[in-house]
Amino acid sequence: MSVILTAACIDPLHCYQTAEIIDAANRFWLTDLDEKTKSYALRLFQGAEIRQRYSALPLEVVFRKLSFQEKNNLYIEAAKEMAERALRSALEKARLAPKQLDYLITTSCTGFMIPSVDAYLVDRLGLRQDVVRIPITEMGCAGGSSGLTYAHRLLRGHPGGHAAVVAVEVPSITFQRDDLSVENLVSTAIFADGAAAVLLRAEGEGLRILDTEMYHFPQSTHLMGYELRDSGLKIILDREVPAAISSHFDRYFYPLLERQQLTVADVEHFLFHPGGKKILSAVEGLLGKHGKNLRFSRKVLTERGNLSSATVLYVLNQAMQEARTGEYGYMLAFGPGFTAQSLLLQW
């Protein structure tokens, strides 16, 4: 049974209050829009219930009209820098040497890199030449929980082994200046940059991963993803997502608990990916029937926004600071496919 040793989350270079983002949007972007669209965009910013967000880039660059090549070059440099800081921090917290890592799993969906970011981490941190690299690029917001699942399954066959999961995202460079669709306006209002690293060991003391589950929603590939354009990655975020999450809840949520002979009442901490206010409210409404809440998820959304695959690892880091020995945790994230990825944890 694998265990999570530590989680480390880093702050990108720039931190902006929502009021500052609105001011920059007014100066660098919204002046080109008609009053109706401008008013709607501002209502989305103000109603997202996000106090501040971090960005790897200054806002004047985020709102600038850039080609896909220019955006992707910015992504590559930011991803390398943030991923390195996150992994170094996690190794220091766990008092592990870089050469103790047997598996390096990286996840990112907001840009393209070949070689992937893990190749640069091998050189920059001095990892072993035989470290197993596993880059994940298309799992979207479920990438962080998926990475933990893959690490858990790899370590079950490697007693004494260690794995790192690194999620790094730069959604700020996916902004589409000339796209006035609801999806682009919503994503501009909620997404932010971030990187997190989690270290796992095959056995010993720590936060135990008891079980994992991946549920694929039938006929749902249209709900979430990216469309590749000359101007970069245009987000696909269907308005049916909250309804799909609610209608399938019984099918992806309870089986994981039932396999471990647990009920919702037995779980103290729910570590869900806060995709946005509507998705968070949809899940919170279902859990509220059992007297449970998503306080860690709501805290991360308020203080950082949606960091795509890294978000659920930030939520995990919050819970690890408060949870007590013996308590259970339930991690859940949704991603393109449409997929629900779950893990059952115990401290």
Say which CATH number the domain at 114 has.
3.40.47.10
- Structural domain including 249 reads 207-346
- The answer to whether 190 and 50 are in contact (CB under 8 A) is yes
Residues 104 and 214 in one domain: no
- The reported pLDDT for the residue numbered 9 is 97
Residues 33 and 166 in one domain: yes
Percent of the chain with pLDDT over 90: 67
Q: Take residue 4 and report the two structure tokens written for it.
A: 């999570």
Tell me the per-residue pLDDT of 235-267, one tens digit each, with 9 for 90 and over: 888 888 888 888 888 898 899 999 999 999 999
Q: 275 or 90, which is more confident?
A: 90
Residues 194 and 213 in one domain: no
Residues 168 and 109 in one domain: yes
Number of folded domains that form the chain: 2
pTM flag (> 0.85)? yes
For residue 141, indicate whether it is catalytic.
yes
Report CA 157 to chain centroid distance, whole Å. Answer: 27
Q: Where are the alpha helices (DSSP H) in 202-294?
A: 241-247, 249-252, 254-259, 277-288
Residues 295 and 250 in one domain: yes
Q: Does the pLDDT value for residue 32 go beyond 80?
A: no
- The reported pLDDT for the residue numbered 287 is 84
- The reported pLDDT for the residue numbered 274 is 87
- The reported pLDDT for the residue numbered 243 is 85
pLDDT tier, 211 (very low <50, low <70, confident <90, very high otherwise)? very high
- Domain termination site, one of 153, 179, 201: 201
Please give the C-alpha separations between residue 5 and each of 45, 300, 321, 339, in angstroms, as whole numbers.
37, 21, 12, 26
Q: Does the pLDDT value for residue 303 go beyond 80?
A: yes
Q: 278 or 82, which is more confident?
A: 82
Eight-state DSSP code of residue 306: B
Residues 184 and 140 in one domain: yes
CB within 8 Å of 60: residues ≥ 6 apart: 24, 28
Residues 33 and 150 in one domain: yes
- The reported pLDDT for the residue numbered 50 is 92
- Domain termination site, one of 155, 180, 201: 201
Residues 27 and 48 in one domain: yes
Tell me the per-residue pLDDT of 125-177, one tens digit each, with 9 for 90 and over: 999 999 999 999 888 899 999 999 999 999 998 889 999 999 999 999 998 88
- Domain termination site, one of 201, 219, 246: 201
Eight-state DSSP code of residue 131: P
The residue from 9, 15, 109, 141 that is catalytic is 141
Residues 195 and 212 in one domain: no
Tell me the per-residue pLDDT of 308-337, one tens digit each, with 9 for 90 and over: 999 999 999 999 999 999 999 999 999 898
Residues 180 and 90 in one domain: yes
Residues 167 and 303 in one domain: no
Residue 259: how many CB atoms within 10 A of its CB?
12
Residues 44 and 181 in one domain: yes
- The answer to whether 95 and 56 are in contact (CB under 8 A) is no
